[in-house]
Structure 1
Amino acid sequence: MISVTDLINYDITDTDLAKQVAEHLTIGVKQTTATLELLRDGATVPFISRYRKEMTGGLDEVQIHDVQVTARHIKDLTDRKKTVLKAIATQQKLTATLQAAIITAATLQDVEDLYLPYKQKKRTKAMIARENGLQPLADFVLTHLSEEIPTEAYINDALADAAAVLAGLHEIIAEQIGEKAIYRQWLRERMQRDGFLTVTVKRDGEEKDAQGVYAQYYDYSESLKSLQMNTFRILAVNRGEKDGVLSVKIDFSEERMRHFIQIKERNGQGDSGEGYQVLLSAIDDAYKRFIQPAVARELRQELTVLAQGQAIKVFGDNLYHLLMQAPLKNKIVMGFDPGFRTGSKLAIIDANGRFLKKEVIYPHKPASEKQRQEAAKRFQSLIHEFDVALVAIGNGTASRESQEFVANNLPSGVQYSIVNEAGASVYSASEEARSEFPQLHVEERSAISIGRRIQDPLAELIKIDPKSVGVGQYQHDLNTKMLDEQVGQVVEKAVNQVGVNLNTASTPLLTHIAGLNTTLAQNIVDYRDNNGVFTSRIDLKKIPRLGPKAYEQAAGFLRILDGKNILDNTDIHPESYAAAKKLLDLADITAQQLATAPANERLTRYDNQMTANQLGIGIETLHDIVGSLKKPGRDGRSEMVGALLKSDVLHIEDLQPGMKLQGTVRNVVDFGAFVDLGVKHDGLVHISRLVKRRVKHPSEIVSVGDIVNVWVVEVDQKRQRIGLTMIAPEEKV
Structure 2
Amino acid sequence: MNINEILIKEFKLKEYQIENAIKLIDEGNTIPFIARYRKEMTGEMSDTQLRDLFERLTYLRNLESRKEDIMRLIDEQGKLTEEIEKSLEKAKTLQEAEDIYAPYKQKKRTRATIAKERGLEPLALMLLLSKNIDLEKEAFAFVNEENDVLDIQTAIEGAKDIVAEQMSDDADIRKYIREYGLNHGLISSKAKNEEDSVYKMYYDFSESIKDILPHRTLAINRGEKEDFLSVKIVLDDQTMIDEIAKRYTGAQNEGNENILFEIAQDSYKRLIFPSIERELRNHLTEIAQERAIKVFGQNLNGLLLQPPIKEQVVMGFDPAFRTGCKIAIVDKNGKLLDFTTVYPTEPQNKIEESKKILKNMINKYNVDIISIGNGTASRESERFVAEMISEMDRNVSYVIVNEAGASVYSASKLANEEHPDINVSIRGAISIARRLQDPMAELVKIDPKSIGVGQYQHDVNEKRLTEVLDGVVEDSVNKIGVDVNTASYSLLEHVAGISSSVAKNIVIYRDENGEFNDINDLKNVKRLGPAAFKQSAGFIRIPESNNPLDNTGVHPESYEACLGLLDKLGYSLNDVKNGNLEDIDSRVKKYGISKLSDELKSGEATLKDIIDEIKKPGRDIRDSGIKPVLRTDIMKLEDLENDMILTGTVRNVVDFGAFIDIGIKNDGLVHISQISKKRIKNVSDVLTVGDIVNVRVIGIDLEKGKVSLSLKNVPQNKETEAI
**Partner in structure 1 of residue 288 of structure 2:** 307
2:582 partner SS: helix
Residues 74-94 of structure 1, C-alpha deviation per residue, up to 9 Å, x if partnerless?
111111111111111111111
What are the superposed Cα offsets for residues 180-224 of structure 1, whole Å, 9 maximum, x if unpaired? 11111111111111111111111xx334xx4x2100000000001
After superposition, residues 345-494 of structure 1 pair within 5 angstroms as 345-367=326-348, 371-410=350-389, 411=392, 412-494=394-476
Q: Which runs of 5+ in 1 are unaligned?
A: 1-11
Residue 719 (structure 2) aligns with: none
- Mapped to 1, the partners of 2:553 and 2:85 lie a distance apart of 52
Equivalent-residue separation in structure 1 for 2:93 and 2:535 (angstroms)? 35
| 2:270 aligned counterpart, secondary structure | helix
The one-letter amino acid paired with 2:366 is D
Where structure 2 has 5 or more consecutive residues not aligned to the other structure, the ranges are 717-723
Aligned to 1:331: 312
Match of 1:118 among 84, 91, 104: 104
Give the 5 Å matches for 1:147-226. 147-149=133-135, 150-157=138-145, 158-202=148-192, 205-207=193-195, 210=196, 212-226=197-211
1:597 Cα deviation from its structure 2 partner = 6.1
Q: Which residue of 2 aligns with 1:240?
A: 223
More divergent stretch after superposition (477-486 vs 608-617)? 608-617
1:607–1:622 Cα contact (<8 Å) kept: no
Secondary structure of the 2:210 match is helix
Find the residue that maps to 1:154 and give its secondary structure.
coil
What secondary structure does 1:353 align onto? coil
Partner SS for 1:226:
coil
- Is the partner of 1:220 in helix, strand or coil? strand
Give the corresponding residue for 2:582: 598
Deviation at 1:409, TM superposition (A): 2.2
**1: CA distance between counterparts of 2:650 and 2:515?**
38
1:92 counterpart letter in structure 2: G
SS in 2 for 1:221: strand
Q: Which moved more, 1:118-127 or 1:663-672?
A: 118-127
Q: Is the 8 A contact 1:333 1:348 kept in 2?
A: yes
Partner secondary structure for residue 623 of structure 2? coil
Q: Classify the secondary structure of the residue corresponding to 1:363.
A: coil
User: How far off its partner does 1:104 sit?
Assistant: 2.2
Query: Which residue identity is paired with 1:146?
Result: N
- Preserved contact between residue 593 and residue 599 of structure 1 (Cα < 8 Å): no
Specify the code of the residue in structure 1 equivalent to 2:174.
R
C-alpha deviation, 1:270, in angstroms: 7.8
Distance in 2 (CA, whole Å) between partners of 1:242 and 1:349 is 45
Residue 256 (1) aligns with residue 256 (2): no
2:95 corresponds in structure 1 to 109
* Residues 242 and 134 of structure 1, relative CA distance in 2, 3 Å threshold: same
The root-mean-square deviation of aligned C-alpha atoms, in Å, is 1.8
CA contact (8 A) 2:474 2:496 kept: yes
Distance (whole Å) between structure 2 residues aligned to residue 389 and residue 469 of structure 1: 26
Q: Residue type of the partner of 1:188?
A: R
Pairwise CA distance, 1:639: 2.3
Contact 2:316 2:431 in 1 (8 A): yes
How far apart in 2 are the matches of 1:141 and 1:432? 70
From 617, 628, 633, the counterpart of 1:632:
617
Residues 526 and 460 of structure 1: CA distance in aligned 2, closer, same or farther (over 3 Å): same
The amino acid that maps onto 2:305 is M
Match of 2:685 among 700, 712, 717: 700
1:654 deviates by 1.6
Task: State whether structure 2 residue 479 is matched by structure 1 residue 497.
Answer: yes
Contact 2:658 2:669 in 1 (8 A): yes
3-state SS, counterpart of residue 627 of structure 1: helix
Question: In 2 relative to 1, CA 333–607 (structure 1 residues): closer, same or farther, beyond 3 Å?
Answer: farther
Q: How does 1:546-625 map to 2 (within 5 A)?
A: 546-594=528-576, 595-596=579-580, 598-602=582-586, 604-605=588-589, 606=591, 608-625=593-610
Equivalent in the alignment of 2:641: 656
Q: Matched residue of 1:653: which SS?
A: helix
| Contact 1:657 1:715 (8 Å CA) reproduced | yes
Matched, 1:75 2:54: no
- TM-score normalised by structure 1 residue count: 0.93
Q: Distance in 1 between matches of 2:352 and 2:78?
A: 89
The 8 Å contact of residues 388 and 414 in structure 1, kept in 2 or not, is answered as yes
1: distance between equivalents of 2:131 and 2:694? 74
* 1:524 partner amino acid: I
Q: By how many angstroms is 1:50 displaced? A: 0.5
Q: What is residue 263 of structure 2 aligned with on the other side?
A: 282
Compute the displacement of 1:601 (Å).
4.2
Match of 1:4 in 2: none
Q: Distance in 2 between matches of 1:548 and 1:331?
A: 39
Tell me the CA shift for residue 145 of structure 1. 4.1
Does 1:509 pair with 2:491? yes
Q: Who is 2:721 aligned against?
A: none
The letter for the 2-side match of 1:183 is I
Q: Distance in 2 between matches of 1:217 and 1:167?
A: 41
Stretch deviating more after TM superposition (604-613 or 634-643): 604-613
For residues 165 and 404 of structure 1, the distance between their equivalents in structure 2, rounded to whole angstroms, comes to 81
Report how far residue 603 of structure 1 moved. Answer: 5.2
Q: Say which is worse superposed, 125-134 or 239-248, in terms of deviation.
A: 125-134
SS in 2 for 1:94: coil
* 1:485-510 C-alpha deviation (Å, 9 max, x unpaired): 10111000000111110100001100
Contact 2:242–2:261 (Cα < 8 Å) also in 1? no
The verdict on how the C-alpha distance between 1:160 and 1:714 changes in structure 2, with shifts beyond 3 A counting, is: same
Cα deviations by residue, 1:111-167 (Å, 9 ceiling, x for unpaired): 111111111111122222222222222212222342322222222223222212211
Q: C-alpha separation between the residues in 2 aligned to 1:387 and 1:233?
A: 50
Q: Residue type matched to 2:142 in 1?
A: Y
- Quote the residue 1:8 is aligned against: none
Contact 2:657 2:672 survives alignment (8 Å): yes
Q: Is the alpha carbon distance of 1:487 and 1:607 closer, same or farther for their aligned partners in structure 2, counting shifts above 3 Å?
A: farther
**Distance in 2, Cα, partners of 1:283 & 1:559:** 69
- The answer to whether the Cα contact below 8 Å between 1:337 and 1:446 also exists between their aligned partners in 2 is yes
- Alpha-carbon shift at residue 42 of structure 1 (Å): 1.6
* Counterpart AA for 2:222: R
1:332 aligned partner, one-letter code: V
Structure-2 separation of matches of 1:483 and 1:181: 32
Does 2:12 correspond to 1:36?
no
Counterparts of 1:624 and 1:55, CA distance in 2: 15
Residues 66 and 402 of structure 1, relative CA distance in 2, 3 Å threshold:
same
What's the counterpart of residue 653 of structure 2? Answer: 668
Contact 2:575 2:581 in 1 (8 A): no
- Alignment size in residue pairs: 706
1:662-710, Cα deviation, whole Å (9 max, x unpaired):
1110000000000112222111110001112211011121110001111
* In structure 2, C-alpha distance between the alignment counterparts of 1:290 and 1:313, rounded to whole Å: 35
Q: Report the residue type matching 1:180 in the other structure.
A: D
Q: By how many angstroms is 1:596 displaced?
A: 4.1
1:602 Cα deviation from its structure 2 partner: 4.6
Query: 1:126 touches 1:175 (CA, 8 Å); kept in 2?
Result: yes
Structure 1 contact 497–635 (Cα < 8 Å) conserved:
no
